[in-house]
Amino acid sequence: GAVVSQHPSWVICKSGTSVKIECRSLDFQATTMFWYRQFPKQSLMLMATSNEGSKATYEQGVEKDKFLINHASLTLSTLTVTSAHPEDSSFYICSASPKSEGASGYTFGSGTRLTVV
């Protein structure tokens, strides 16, 4: 089946620095990828839709200048948390679906635990 790889699985960074998280579709091409954020004991909150070759679409309330998304190829999307602060500490998860499966075939990455100190 479709596999989505997310890297790193966990990262600790200092306040004010930037962190990049990668999301790769290993065996399929993904024109669209989604980025979610999850706080402890809470559900997944969609942050943005990453579109290959074009600008990402951000959900209401998500700061696009803080959470930079780049989808430069059909197999890679990156989320960069800029000038990170402790309140950005969270679990970030990406998902993608093979074009052949459309909206019924989303696979999730294993997630990235970000801790800002």
Partner 1 sequence: AQSVTQLGSHVSVSEGALVLLRCNYSSSVPPYLFWYVQYPNQGLQLLLKYTTGATLVKGINGFEAEFKKSETSFHLTKPSAHMSDAAEYFCAVSDLGQGGKLIFGQGTELSVKP
Nearer to partner 1, 14 or 41 (CB): 41
In the complex, what is the shortest distance from the CB of residue 36 to partner 1, in angstroms, rounded to a whole number? 8
Nearer residue to partner 1 within complex by CB, 49 or 82? 49
Which residues here bind partner 1, judged by CB under 8 A? 6, 32, 34, 41-44, 46, 49, 91, 93, 95, 97, 102-104, 106-111, 113
What minimum distance in Å lies between the beta carbon of 79 and partner 1? 14
d(CA 30, CA 72): 11
Closer CB to partner 1, 26 or 46, in the complex: 46
In degrees and rounded to multiples of 5, residue 15 shows phi and psi of: -60, 135
Q: Which is nearer to partner 1, 77 or 109 (CB)?
A: 109
> Least CB distance from residue 16 to partner 1, whole Å?
26
Task: Concatenate the DSSP letters of all residues of the chain into one string.
Answer: ---EEEE-SEEEE-TT--EEEEEEESSS--SEEEEEEE-TTS-EEEEEEEETTS--EEPTT--TTTEEEEEEETTEEEEEE-S--GGG-EEEEEEE--TTTGGG--EE---EEEEE-
Q: Please, what is the minimum distance in Å from the beta carbon of residue 38 to partner 1?
A: 9
